Structure 1
């Protein structure tokens, strides 16, 4: 696969949010490549349920060719990483597969387990180089590395060059330093991305400071990077790469349809979180949003969530119920107690208004 062709607009790996339906959604709307969430090699090798769940996610995406998918692995044991990667590499997308070493995760769990961004200290560089080298020599798919800034930041270029020499096909730089208390310590230092691009021959991907479409263009123009990776902004607007702001109910229902198309690849709590993000992105300040969150939390099925969207959210937005002939009085997912609560919420909203 000609890698640079797919590096322009990348959906970042996000914990419990990079499920197959969401990856399919963002790739439908302009993402040229999408990452899975961080997968743990030890669990892939020793937890059959965990392995089968993520294998199903990958294999369904592979069978339907949603687009290039990067499997994100973590860990500090090169042997385990290689064993786990070999079990997954043939189940990536039909165009090509990339296996990614995560050196950008700042979570406290990463510090305790000595992986992620906590391997960026210079004393750990030989370990990181060994991991990347082992991966690049063991897999039939390209290997990449995702970094945060080293401390001091000038060391980032040195580490990136070392990883390129070990076989990394491209480097993604989230140009912030590590903080377990705050995932974002100020704006990303795009000058450091530019520095990598100016001094390295492999593709460089810029990660950080993207909130709207124009940020992508400005980022690429300033850094000269080969592409941009976006994370949390896509959670609110999965159509960002298409320069579209969708109707929040429309995009929520579209996501639910993908969950049905790929059954068993997204758990209800994760589906609820996605839908909450879609609605909050445009309606988070509406007086009914807190009631929506509470109602969303009480749903148990995809059908419950869709009913909430088609009837109650549309009603709160001042619109008539939409499509599929949903009737509050007849729908089995809404009992008498729920109907009474809906009536009370209407009264509450009238008082707020």
Structure 2
């Protein structure tokens, strides 16, 4: 916390007690901290006292269905001086299976006075509205629902404030994919950036005509130029496909 405060311009520091990944849990980090509330409190209190930035905590409902303790951890977070908590409605045991349960988020909201952020299974603007209405949470956090869909935030905002939204067309989606690849290569270098993009490019074209073939091709790109060529070829294919409809 001290290092981040002194060496970065971060606006806040987040303690992630929600990560379910095995290698993180084996290190007694992430959601494993929820198994030891006393230690979790010590960690939260130590971070709060060693920074002047707001501290937030992300957590799950609990370790497993037999150990649901998000309310207990949230109360400890409030006691430690944490500024806000984010609650994912699954247990660590669920990983990413099953469904996120909004009831756990509501229980935390009803139990503490600090802001509560809801998280889990927000894949449509309607999901976002439902979570806000069912839980009374102060804000929502969107994770996997944004993969390959950076425009999704605008859709949610438009829906919550106006009741309707417009889906980006295929040109916008393809442009976004290439723009992201450019920025990734700019930041990571082309070799590393393209390697990372192979696993993400397909997200941007999910639901478009003939997506399967082009997902396969994009998953083996070796340069930014090759990606550009594939995208432009695909753009023309979709254009011709739609003109025939």
Unaligned runs of at least 5 residues, structure 2: 156-165
Aligned pairs for 1:328-343 within 5 A:
none
The two structures, once aligned, show a CA RMSD in angstroms of 2.3
What residue in structure 1 maps to residue 140 of structure 2?
A: 228
Q: Residues 96-148 of structure 1: CA distance to partner in whole angstroms, max 9, x if unpaired?
A: x1111110011111221111111211xx2121111111111111211111001
Q: Residues 2-25 of structure 1: CA distance to partner in whole angstroms, max 9, x if unpaired?
A: xxxxxxxxxxxxxxxxxxxxxxxx
2:5–2:51: 8 Å Cα contact kept in structure 1? yes
Which of 205, 230, 239 is the equivalent residue of 1:279?
205
CA distance in 1: counterparts of 2:39 and 2:4, whole angstroms: 18
TM-score in terms of structure 1 length: 0.58
Stretch deviating more after TM superposition (218-227 or 248-257):
248-257
SS in 1 for 2:86: strand
- State the 1:273 CA deviation: 2.7
1:204–1:226: 8 Å Cα contact kept in structure 2? yes
CA pair 269-206 structure 1, distance change in 2 beyond 3 A: same
- State the 1:256 CA deviation: 3.4
TM-score in terms of structure 2 length: 0.82
1:177–1:185: 8 Å Cα contact kept in structure 2? no
2:59–2:88: 8 Å Cα contact kept in structure 1? yes
CA pair 87-300 structure 1, distance change in 2 beyond 3 A: farther
Aligned pairs for 1:1-353 within 5 A:
82=1, 84-86=3-5, 88=7, 90-92=8-10, 97-121=11-35, 124-150=36-62, 151=64, 152=66, 154-179=68-93, 183-243=95-155, 244-246=166-168, 247=170, 248-259=173-184, 262-264=186-188, 267-280=193-206, 282-283=207-208, 286=209, 288-310=210-232, 312-319=233-240
Higher relative contact order (CA 8 A, sep 6+): 1
CA distance in 1: counterparts of 2:219 and 2:3, whole angstroms: 35
Unaligned runs of at least 5 residues, structure 1: 1-81, 321-353
CA pair 87-291 structure 1, distance change in 2 beyond 3 A: farther
CA distance in 2: counterparts of 1:269 and 1:103, whole angstroms: 29
- State the 1:214 CA deviation: 1.2
CA pair 221-84 structure 1, distance change in 2 beyond 3 A: same
2:19–2:30: 8 Å Cα contact kept in structure 1? yes
CA distance in 2: counterparts of 1:273 and 1:314, whole angstroms: 20
CA pair 259-185 structure 1, distance change in 2 beyond 3 A: closer
What residue in structure 2 maps to residue 16 of structure 1?
A: none
CA distance in 1: counterparts of 2:24 and 2:182, whole angstroms: 34
